[in-house]
Amino acid sequence: MIKHVYESAVLINAALEDEAIQAIISRIKETISSNGGEIRDVEDWGRKRLAYIVKKSKIGYYVFFRFDALPDLIPKLERFYQLDDNILRYLTIKLTGEALEQIEIDKTQQPEITEEIDELIVPSSEQENEEEDNNAVEQPINNDSMED
């Protein structure tokens, strides 16, 4: 059988302590490795606010795993995800060659983007308030229509 490249996005309950979250991440890595998978990359995005409540949680801890594996690993890995109550959501996909190329391009451009963001001048809240005051236009109130 041929190994494919997969990406597994995992949303972990952010209410856990950092040590507990790291233990879950380690168990996921161990599950992948012990079933013949080879981890290429782990992206730890950390705690992020969710767009909607998932299993009574407003905040989740995002981790992305990229790994090489045989197709029979995926059901085992997803079964592991289902059995762990602290894993709120997960999604595992097979990556194409084009997707892998784009990931590499994004990695090389990331430092450049970060530098550009750091160079931007961020106005202070006082400057923003002054600009808002300067842009505000007073509208006259027409009470004639209310007298009927």
**What is the pTM for the complete model shown?**
0.69
Domain 4-100 part of CATH 3.40.980.20? no
**pLDDT, tens digit, 9 for 90 and up, residues 30-61:** 999 999 999 998 999 999 999 988 888 899 99
Domain ranges of the chain: 4-100
CA nearest to 27, candidates 86, 75, 70, 72:
86
At residue 12 the predicted structure's pLDDT band, cuts being 50, 70 and 90, is very high
Backbone angles phi, psi at 119, to 5 degrees: -80, -20
**pLDDT, tens digit, 9 for 90 and up, residues 89-148:** 999 999 988 888 888 888 787 666 556 666 665 555 555 555 555 555 555 555 555 554
Burial 72-99 (b: 16+ CB within 10 A, else e): ebbeebeebbeebeebbebebeebeeee
